[in-house]
Amino acid sequence: MPHFNAGSLLNATLYNATPLVLAALGGVLSEKAGVVNIALEGLILAGAFVGIWAGQPSSLGALAPVVGLMAAMGAGALLGLLHAFLTQKTRMNHVVSGLGITLLSAGATRYLYQRLFPAGGLEIPGLPQVLFLISGADPALCDLSSAEADPLRPADPRRR
């Protein structure tokens, strides 16, 4: 019988749930703005593909992963602007626009992957770990000292 390791299970859960949590946060922000955005999966898919394509090792050297990250954010932002234009300026139905963008992203990434990377597997260097250490050490970026920021800390009943 295999040994159960709760630490590795928690690590794998947090690692694999991060894109879903970020998409859910984007959906909440979209809903707060009055936009039904079901194109979030398509935005993530297109951003991931463009990031891999732009972040390939090249003459940029160590900056290639950073360029890939910036390209991924740019692709997601451009598709988000397309969704905003279609729903706000042309008054298209939000669900139809979101579904169209998701299907466009799914088809385009599959087609472009087959054309640009016919050999199959890719080996892409990751972002420098210093970037994550800096963002994790900055108290302004991750302030967990307040009760609102820490979901595990019980709320103070006197603050209501």
| Size of the chain, expressed as the number of residues it contains | 160
What band does 49 get if pLDDT is binned at 50, 70 and 90? very high
Domain ranges of the chain: 6-124
What band does 1 get if pLDDT is binned at 50, 70 and 90? low
Q: How high does pLDDT run on average in the chain? A: 80
Whole-number pLDDT of residue 86:
94
What band does 143 get if pLDDT is binned at 50, 70 and 90? very low
C-alpha distances in Å from residue 74, one per residue of 68, 77, 102, 122, 128: 10, 5, 17, 22, 20
Contact 104, 43 (CB under 8 A): no
- pLDDT tens, residue by residue, 64-94: 888 999 999 999 999 999 999 999 999 999 9
* Residues 63/69/74/80 CA torsion (nearest 10 deg): 180
Whole-number pLDDT of residue 124:
67
What gap in Å lies between CA 100 and CA 92, rounded to an integer? Answer: 11
The better pLDDT of the pair 96, 138 is held by 96
pLDDT at 158 over 70: no
